[in-house]
Structure 1
């Protein structure tokens, strides 16, 4: 799947569909818990289908499904809609920990993900990784930023889930996702520019 196709899928299935289902069902008179349960289906299905096509399920995919299932079980056992609203935190917390844990591997998660999307730059990325210490250090620092941000994101989602009106949290969750991704572009680009290799990956010639 190309990067634009992946972005389109994320916007439609992982962001647009859950919001449309939740607010559409709620507007039709459906209870908050039922609306949240139904709105959790598209992202979970996307993860399952992606894992099936790849013939493997990575840790982040498992975290998404586990968070959805645990939230649903907690809600159905009487916990109410707020447990479902907190499922985002159950995903971002493990995601943050996993991201930081990949610092112990030869190549951290942010490097691997970026290399997957920049297929036409994979060769130069591999060469720079093998030969340039500042390039490796930049990606490790980027990974720390993304991991810490995911943990902070998780804490904020828990606060929103248990303190704000149920009706506003799904929209705020989505806004938080977008803001977090956009804000994290700043340290990512600054660290790559400092390493001297930003143009090698994202410049006009790339």
Structure 2
């Protein structure tokens, strides 16, 4: 505004129009991503550590191999149940895992063979691996859906739709998605086969430790290849 002498002066009664910076979604996304990774790591550690520690603790207390394997496997049940209660929804994979734990214990109770319990985990990885490979015959392979979820969590739903729409228009994109799906499916299936071989050949007391170390190694190899591949071929967002 101007004063009576024609000079320009600042209107002190009017608040500054410059908006105060506020956190953007882009700034919040790294925090959300870190939180998701921490939750994944925490869940992985618990799911590996609980059965392993439970088995060797029970063995140290004088429990039989069968009892130690059965009880240590069921230690995951409260953790899985807590996860469903916290998310307030029943999910297929946790229910499937709980079912395998119970069925494995019942079958081994009938046979009296602790090695049946050791093979139990391979059922889960084998079914998951075969299911992932089976999606290659569909119009929406596993990695297309999984990748879309990752993109949505990192850059938003609209960008995720644009990323997934490439499937309908880019043959090269479809080839990359199918290859990644095949690698993940083959990785889970191979892990299941290795678990069966280990459970049938190694000393029983050694199997829980070896398989607990095997799974992070397989998962790390899969993630490592995935990261290298998507970075090299421009699929990373």
What's the TM-score once normalised by structure 1's chain length?
Answer: 0.83
For the 8 Å contact 1:99–1:109, the answer to whether it is kept is yes
Q: Deviations over 1:51-105 (max 9, x none)?
A: 45352322x3343223212210122113321010001111111011111223344
Alpha-carbon separation, structure 2, partners of 1:25 and 1:128:
50
State the 1:181 CA deviation. 0.5
Unmatched runs of 5 consecutive residues or more in structure 2: 1-34
1:35 aligns with 2:64: no
Alpha-carbon separation, structure 2, partners of 1:168 and 1:4:
29
State the 1:189 CA deviation. 2.3
For the 8 Å contact 1:115–1:122, the answer to whether it is kept is no
Alpha-carbon separation, structure 2, partners of 1:31 and 1:15:
21
Alpha-carbon separation, structure 1, partners of 2:116 and 2:206:
15
**Selected match of 1:152 from 176, 190, 204:** 190
For the 8 Å contact 1:22–1:39, the answer to whether it is kept is yes
For the 8 Å contact 1:128–1:135, the answer to whether it is kept is no
1:93 aligns with 2:93: no
1:112 aligns with 2:112: no
Name the one with the larger helix percent. Answer: 1
For the 8 Å contact 2:125–2:189, the answer to whether it is kept is yes
State the 1:143 CA deviation. 1.2
Closer, same or farther: CA 136–7 of 1 in aligned 2, 3 Å:
farther
Alpha-carbon separation, structure 1, partners of 2:196 and 2:177:
29
Unmatched runs of 5 consecutive residues or more in structure 1: 201-206
1:127 aligns with 2:172: no
Alpha-carbon separation, structure 2, partners of 1:33 and 1:136:
47
Closer, same or farther: CA 43–112 of 1 in aligned 2, 3 Å:
farther
Indicate the RMSD between aligned Cα atoms, in angstroms: 2.3
Alpha-carbon separation, structure 1, partners of 2:136 and 2:77:
27
What's the TM-score once normalised by structure 2's chain length?
Answer: 0.73
For the 8 Å contact 2:141–2:181, the answer to whether it is kept is yes
1:16 alignment counterpart: 49
Closer, same or farther: CA 120–5 of 1 in aligned 2, 3 Å:
same
1:190 aligns with 2:190: no
State the 1:20 CA deviation. 0.8
Alpha-carbon separation, structure 1, partners of 2:146 and 2:79:
18
Equivalent pairs counted in the alignment come to: 197
Secondary structure of the residue aligned to 1:86 is helix
Larger Rg: 2
State the 1:114 CA deviation. 4.7
State the 1:197 CA deviation. 2.5
